[in-house]
Amino acid sequence: MGWLTLLGISLGLALDAFAVAIAAGLTLQSVTPRQVFRLGFHFGLFQFLMPVVGWLAGKQVAACLGAWDHWAAFGLLSYVGGKMLWEARSDSQDTRSRTDPTRGLVLVTLSLATSIDALAVGLSMGLLGISIWVPSVVIGLVAGLLTTLGMCFGTRLGRGWGRRAEFLGGCVLVLIGVRILILHLVA
């Protein structure tokens, strides 16, 4: 596999993580370097691990995984996005009760949801007999970098937006989930 192809695959896989990171940056009133690192690290780690898992899964489970991966991504992103929409419409101004997308189960859920497509890429590489290690490292690094940039960009956009930013972030996550579902159902 050529470097240009690998970079194209990596960028394509990282675009969902970039969009989710923008949404996360929009929802937080102030973003610390630690939050940026956590989101970038976890998104990059999951984007690195999922192709390896897909590659290891091999031919036996390729048909099964392809049948439900888009549903899983849709469900996970819709859940987190719906939760953000619910919180955006609440009357409470207490931001401490808001979910921090860079912590806990929300972080793991978003990391998993944005990296499911990488699982399919790993399966494809396994079926084609391509070594997974260099592509996985590049995919993880590109995802981590774009996540960091997306979070910083979302933070700059989000200052002063309050509930509108959280509502927009929730809509973005739900729309990404719907996009993934439609693309896989049409294909």
- pLDDT above 70 coverage of the chain, percent: 79
68-120 confidence digits (pLDDT tens): 777 877 777 677 777 767 766 765 544 444 678 888 898 999 999 888 888 87
Q: Which is nearest to 143 in space by CA: 56, 46, 55? A: 46
**CA–CA separation, 183 and 65 (whole Å):** 16
Higher pLDDT, 7 or 161: 7
Q: Quote the pLDDT of residue 117.
A: 81
Q: Which is nearest to 48 in space by CA: 133, 109, 146? A: 133
23-57 confidence digits (pLDDT tens): 888 878 788 999 999 999 999 999 999 999 988 88
pLDDT-derived band at 125 (thresholds 50, 70, 90) equals confident
**CA–CA separation, 107 and 9 (whole Å):** 23
Q: Quote the pLDDT of residue 169.
A: 66
Contact 132/9 with Cβ under 8 angstroms?
no
Q: Quote the pLDDT of residue 137.
A: 96
Look over the chain and give the mean of its residue pLDDT values, rounded to a whole number: 80
Q: Quote the pLDDT of residue 33.
A: 93
- pLDDT above 90 coverage of the chain, percent: 23
Q: Which is nearest to 139 in space by CA: 54, 80, 79, 23? A: 54
Q: Quote the pLDDT of residue 60.
A: 58
